[in-house]
């Protein structure tokens, strides 16, 4: 039986972060990987892969908005060229992943990992023991109990489409559907394109602020994206060379491609977690603030944990787990996990970035707050690029501390990251308002002066 200090299950971003860091601290490390294409969802079919499509879609959107402002002929976009560029990147990921592990002295063991007990794994028929385990097995597309769902492709399949047909139906009204629908709208050909999002819940993008979501839905509508909520799908039927998505009310939506983009589930079913005494649910593996499972020597990080499915959060969780394994003396002082200021970004156009509370959540919890809100902004920064649907909502406590922020902008990510750092460092809205006056001008960040003034003493 092979023995290691630590065995990491999964070779995605969280698994790599944990494995490399532990190895650099002098521990013996192995990585168990069941996939023939190691590297993880983020690089192969998630945040990294999708950005190839977003960059082209954003450029097309900005060019179209600048028509009449100096741009005479907006660029033609080739889906095939974008796909080729993406594939050129993703095809190198598995080899680079394995090469990186080998150079670092990290063993890779191929096969499905199953716990035999809290100290032993069976990996493809090979028994391996370790003092510690880090489960970073990721997530997979959520299967749906819908008749004919096999006629739909998954989000992974969407990023492999060789071309864009005219009619798309996306099942689910979350991150994936909105981003992919905007790719289709921006990168497709001609006015005949039909893009539909169907969501079972009363509204789309449930974790986001309801008022801001309604503004994004309206902006999406202008690009030919229809969003329908409260829709229960009964079947996905083949209709010649096309498909029909039929609802419980008998409404039918025609499509050339149906995408099951209802989300992803933690990939834990193969692990035999119960044999190791590890609690888990549909949401993922139960962990504490140090990323320990109910078995103290076993940690879970990334999409397989019952936390937040975001790549950089996964990396942070991995570092927290490493810190716990090494102990405070050698761990580098990474604190316990705190998800109160985790930002999220929708790579639509405009982008929607958020951090902290939504307004409805503050009301529900009875937390007093003040608000600064604006929409359809006519500030010069947006007039210059022809964007009419930028908006913001900043939420602060009665003491001036940031409670939440929601931004619709072509650079929502940058603005949200600035406010997030203020939240983490307890910088009040008043201070950030005054400091925004000295931001590079004109810029999206300097516009925070206007956003934050209603929360300052000078309002």
Is 35 a known ligand-binding residue?
no
Is 111 a known ligand-binding residue?
no
3-state secondary structure of 196: strand
- Residue 236: name the closest of 213, 255, 222 by CA: 255
Is 173 a known ligand-binding residue?
yes
CA distances from 127 to 111, 113, 268, 276 (A): 11, 10, 19, 15
Cα gap 211→406, rounded to integer Å: 10
Is 175 a known ligand-binding residue?
yes
CA distances from 335 to 307, 322, 330, 417, 424 (A): 16, 11, 13, 20, 13
Cα gap 187→308, rounded to integer Å: 30
CA distances from 406 to 15, 132, 200, 345, 394 (A): 31, 40, 24, 10, 6
- Please say whether the dihedral angle defined by the alpha carbons of residues 39, 286, 344 and 167, taken in this order, is positive or negative: positive
Cα gap 334→22, rounded to integer Å: 14
Is 303 a known ligand-binding residue?
yes
Is 302 a known ligand-binding residue?
no
Is 427 a known ligand-binding residue?
no
Is 199 a known ligand-binding residue?
yes
Cα gap 139→264, rounded to integer Å: 6
Is 109 a known ligand-binding residue?
no
CA distances from 37 to 95, 236, 318 (A): 8, 30, 21
Is 430 a known ligand-binding residue?
no
Query: At residue 327, what are phi and psi to the nearest 5 degrees?
Result: 90, 160
Is 197 a known ligand-binding residue?
no
- The gap from C-alpha 314 to its chain's centroid, in whole angstroms, comes to 11
Is 172 a known ligand-binding residue?
yes
Residues 167 and 242: beta-carbon distance below 8 Å:
yes
Binding residues for FAD: 51, 303
Please enumerate, by residue number, every residue annotated as part of a binding site.
Answer: 51, 172-179, 199, 263, 303
Binding residues for NAD(+): 172-179, 199, 263
């Amino acid at each position: 039986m092979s023995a290691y200090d630590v065995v990491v299950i999964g070779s995605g971003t969280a698994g790599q972060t944990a494995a490399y860091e532990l190895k650099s601290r002098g521990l013996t490390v192995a990585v168990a990987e069941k996939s023939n294409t190691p590297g993880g969802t983020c690089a192969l079919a998630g945040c990294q892969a999708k950005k190839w499509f977003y960059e082209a879609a954003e450029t097309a959107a900005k060019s179209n908005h600048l028509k009449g402002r100096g741009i005479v002929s907006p660029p033609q976009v080739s889906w095939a060229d974008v796909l080729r560029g993406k594939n050129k990147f993703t095809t190198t990921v598995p080899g680079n992943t394995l090469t990186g592990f080998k150079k670092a002295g990290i063993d890779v063991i191929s096969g499905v990992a199953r716990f035999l007990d809290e100290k032993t794994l069976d990996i493809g028929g090979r028994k391996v023991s370790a003092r510690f385990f880090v489960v970073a097995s990721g997530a997979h597309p959520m299967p749906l109990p819908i008749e004919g769902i096999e006629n739909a492709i998954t989000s992974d399949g969407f990023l492999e489409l060789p071309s864009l047909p005219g009619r798309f139906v996306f099942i689910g009204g979350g991150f994936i559907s909105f981003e992919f629908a905007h790719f289709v709208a921006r990168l497709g050909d001609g006015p005949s394109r039909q893009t539909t999002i169907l969501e079972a819940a009363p509204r789309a993008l449930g974790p986001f602020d309801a008022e801001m979501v309604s503004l994004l839905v309206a902006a999406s509508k202008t690009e030919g994206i229809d969003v329908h909520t409260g829709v229960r799908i009964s079947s996905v039927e083949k209709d010649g060379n096309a498909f029909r998505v039929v609802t419980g009310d008998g409404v039918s939506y025609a499509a050339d491609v149906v995408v099951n983009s209802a989300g992803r589930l933690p990939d834990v079913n193969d692990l035999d977690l119960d044999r190791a005494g590890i609690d888990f649910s549909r949401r993922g593996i139960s962990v504490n603030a140090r990323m320990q499972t109910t078995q103290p020597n076993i940690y879970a990080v990334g999409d397989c944990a019952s936390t937040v499915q975001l790549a950089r959060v996964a990396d942070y969780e991995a570092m927290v787990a490493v810190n716990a394994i090494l102990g405070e003396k050698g761990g580098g002082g990474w604190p316990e996990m705190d998800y109160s200021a985790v930002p999220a970004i929708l790579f639509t156009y405009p982008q929607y970035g958020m951090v902290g509370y939504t307004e409805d959540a503050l009301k529900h919890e009875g937390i007093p707050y003040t608000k600064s809100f604006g929409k359809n902004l006519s500030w010069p920064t947006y007039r210059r690029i022809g964007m009419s649907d930028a908006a913001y909502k900043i939420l602060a406590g009665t003491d001036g501390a940031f409670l939440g922020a929601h931004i619709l902008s072509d650079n929502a990510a940058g603005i949200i990251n600035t406010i997030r750092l203020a939240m983490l460092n307890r910088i009040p809205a008043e201070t950030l308002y005054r400091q925004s006056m000295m931001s590079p001008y004109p810029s999206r960040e300097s516009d925070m002066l206007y956003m934050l003034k209603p929360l300052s003493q000078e309002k």
